[in-house]
Amino acid sequence: MNILVITNHFYPENFKINDLVDGLTEKGHKIRVVTQMPNYPSGNFHSGFHFFGPLKERHPKGHTIYRVPVFPRLEGKNWQLVFNYLSYALFSSFFVLFLLRKPVDKIFVYETSPMTVGIPALVFKFFKRIPLYFWITDLWPESLMAVGAVKNKVILKLVEWMVKFIYHHCDYILMASQAFKTSILKFGVPEKKLLYFPQWAEEYYRPLTEDPKLSQFVGHENFFKLMFAGNIGEAQSFETLTQAANILKEEKNIHWYILGNGRRKAWANEEIIRLGLQSNFHFLGSFPPEKMSEFFYYADGLIVSLKKAEIFALTIPAKVQAYLACEKPILASLDGEGARIIEEANAGFTSESENAAALAQNILQLQNSTQKKNGRQYFEKNFSRALLLSKIESWLISSKPCD
């Protein structure tokens, strides 16, 4: 089967679509990917890339990658993101016209943010009249309002119109969270179009049995080690972590290890200094995702947090699946669907979003407990790569996956 994948994020950026394309290629399908010049998360083009190229690559796994010019994210200010989103939608919409002569059986869109990634897919569908599958991992306009990116009511109405237009021209909408259903249905989308398709953790996320020898990064072996991995951004409510750490300031044995980067890292560093927490916070930097299990080996608890907002209560942070796969106790400052999964898996302790006191209490409870490690069993039953790859392949092959 020939599949055209449209995504604004792809290799060397680290997103779930990378592994999905790898998996479908391994299963013998021919994949063409239309994406942008990589510039996430730094905001600048990755080494070896620039505005005009390279425009075409052959991935070692066998799929073809086409890259279109974009305005890079730069510092991630709202106007810079708007230019980034619109430049990808514009240039990719023109570019897909050059692929009309290529054999394509299905169109697959991966949407993190923005929803405008669907525009080039609709252009291609208009000419080819083939099924369009749209995988939603972030809801618009809810996400825009939750982080305060857009407050103008006229702009929000235009965004709603665009979202409704895209939804109604998709053949199937894949939801990364079952809680997305209500939001999508309010646009008048037939329920038969909706398919639940959660994210998974790559196979390198697994429990390790041997010491990976990274003690130079994670400090003294007698520390009670809490780890946070991923983006340090507005949505992650990093202030909840610093406030919890401040509450536990006298617990000198509790140390926080931060793996990742993001727009709020500078703020986080300043806040930690202001609170006098420098000796207990360790920013280790960014590492390839393949290394995460090695760091998690040393963790006594893995942290996941989100801001208190209706949209975030509907989402499942991708790190939840990775944490479950590594079978380490999870400390979650989450509402809604993410918290439900951790509780259902009996894989850790949950508290409501932005409740630093409750998070601090759960940290002490974990420190003094014999928490069972049940995450891996739940992960294999619900979020394994093999299970979900087989499911998406069967849907793409079938002309009516909802039947």
Q: What is the pLDDT of residue 161?
A: 94
| 223 in the same domain as 146 | no
215-263: per-residue pLDDT in tens?
Answer: 888 877 789 999 999 989 888 999 999 999 999 999 999 999 999 988 8
What was the pLDDT predicted at 372?
58
Residue-by-residue DSSP string for 74-94 = TT--HHHHHHHHHHHHHHHHH
Residue closest to 258 by CA, chosen among 222, 304, 223: 304
- Does residue 206 fall inside a structural domain? no
Distance CA 261, CA 229 (A): 9
In a domain, 109, yes or no: yes
Q: What's the CATH code of the domain at 231?
A: 3.40.50.2000
DSSP symbol at 300: S
Residues 222 and 234 in one domain: yes
Asked whether residue 159 is domain-assigned, the answer is: yes
Question: What confidence score (pLDDT) does residue 222 get?
Answer: 85
- 336 and 390, same domain (yes or no): no
Domain that holds residue 241: 215-382
- pLDDT value of residue 68: 96
State the alpha helices, DSSP H only, in 215-348. Answer: 215-218, 238-247, 265-275, 292-296, 310-314, 318-325, 336-344
**Do 180 and 254 belong together in one domain?**
no
pLDDT value for 190: 95
- Summarize pLDDT for 143-200 with one digit per residue, the tens: 887 767 677 888 889 989 999 999 999 999 999 999 999 999 999 999 999 999 999 9
Say if residue 232 is in the same domain as residue 180. Answer: no
pLDDT at 147: 66
Spans of the chain below 50 pLDDT: none
Per-residue model confidence (pLDDT) at position 403: 55
Both 334 and 185 in a single domain? no
Q: How far is CA 115 from CA 6, 162, 163, 190, 231, in A?
A: 12, 8, 7, 19, 20
Check whether residue 188 and residue 301 sit in a common domain.
Answer: no
Angle between helices 118-128 and 78-95 (to 10 degrees): 20
CA distance 8 to 16: 12
Q: How far apart are CA 145 and CA 335, in angstroms?
A: 17
Q: What is the pLDDT of residue 37?
A: 96
**CA–CA dist 330, 317 (Å, integer):** 13
Residues 373 and 390 in one domain: no
101 occurs within a structural domain: yes
Contact 264, 235 (CB under 8 A): no
Kindly state whether residue 205 falls inside one of the protein's structural domains: no
Looking at the fold, whether 193 and 236 belong to one and the same domain comes out as no
Question: Residue 72, CB half-sphere, CA atoms under 13 Å: how many?
Answer: 16
**32 and 165 share a domain?**
yes
- pTM, two decimals, is 0.83
Contact 93, 123 (CB under 8 A): yes
- CA angle, 84 then 87 then 92, to 5°: 125
Question: Which residue, chain included where needed, has tokens 């390790």?
Answer: 208
Is 307 found in the same domain as 194? no
3-state secondary structure of 301: strand
| Residue 207 belongs to a domain | no
Write down the pLDDT at residue 215.
80
Question: Can you give the pLDDT at residue 310?
Answer: 87
Q: Is residue 403 part of a domain?
A: no
315 lies in the same domain as 357: yes
Q: How far apart are the first and last CA of the chain?
A: 21
Q: Which two tokens stand for residue 237?
A: 């409510």
Q: Would residue 209 count as lying in a domain?
A: no
Which alpha helices (DSSP H) does 8-152 contain, by range?
A: 16-26, 78-95, 118-128, 142-146
Side chain identity, residue 161: W
How high is the pLDDT of residue 77? Answer: 85
Are 132 and 171 spatial neighbours (Cβ–Cβ below 8 Å)?
A: yes
123 φ/ψ angles, rounded to the nearest 5 degrees? -60, -50
What total of structural domains would you count in the chain?
2
